[in-house]
Amino acid sequence: METSCPSMLYRLLVDEFLDEVPPNEWRRDGKCLDWPAPENATFERIVGAILVQNANWRNNASKAVENLKKMGILEPSKIVETPPTLLKEAIKPAGFTDRKLKTLYEVSKLMISLRLDSLDDPSLRRRLLSVNGIGPETSDTILLYAFNRPVIPVSKYAKRILERFCNIHLKNYLEWQTYIQESIPRDVETYKTFHALLTEFGLKFCTDKPKCNLCPIRADCRYTMKKPMNR
């Protein structure tokens, strides 16, 4: 399998699209996504990764996180002590409150019982996947953004953009992740940047119905050119 395409896509997005991303979403020192939380706020980033599932960050999930902060309960010990009715009301903007409520309780108990940052990458991922409501994408988002581990999450935007741009179709999450990681340097900041750019690009241009006529990288896109990539 040809693996240079994700690398080319990364370079094009950095060159052609980086400046179009809202400034408050980026640290200009290194041009890396700054997860909407203070430095070292591991738990806040874990909560954010859970609440953003099937939700828009800016309009929904971030409001739920702010509610938790205003209530002063954005800590594992305080989450587990908060009655379900109050917690459900706080996270209501993020949607799917019953499922996310259970996940928040479970991950909070896990954080209390175990020093997750002491685990190696595979062990930490297994622990996260053992939590009801945390799947591969969320676990890898937590690994990357909360624990700064070199693991790239594969979002629906990543798959959609790569399918079109590289004219490639893979079977499952692991194949997609391997395909990306074999092409991109194994670096936390690079992974954060690429993941964030793919998300923003998928929201703005490479939507379900792609806006190819507006796309800044259409000249290099195999979906636009309607020809297969060389193998």
Q: Which CATH architecture has domain 5-34+152-225?
A: Orthogonal Bundle (1.10)
Extents of the domains making up the chain? 5-34+152-225, 42-146
CA distance 182 to 110: 32
Low-confidence ranges of the chain (pLDDT < 70): 1-3, 21-40, 227-231
Residue of 141, 89, 149 whose CA lies nearest to 119: 149
**pLDDT score recorded for residue 33:** 47
Assign 32 to helix, strand or coil: strand
pLDDT at position 29: 35
CATH of 42-146, one of 1.10.340.30, 3.40.50.410, 3.20.20.80, 2.40.160.20: 1.10.340.30
Q: What is the pLDDT of residue 142?
A: 96
DSSP 158: H
- Helices 62-71, 42-51: inter-axial angle, 10-degree rounding: 130
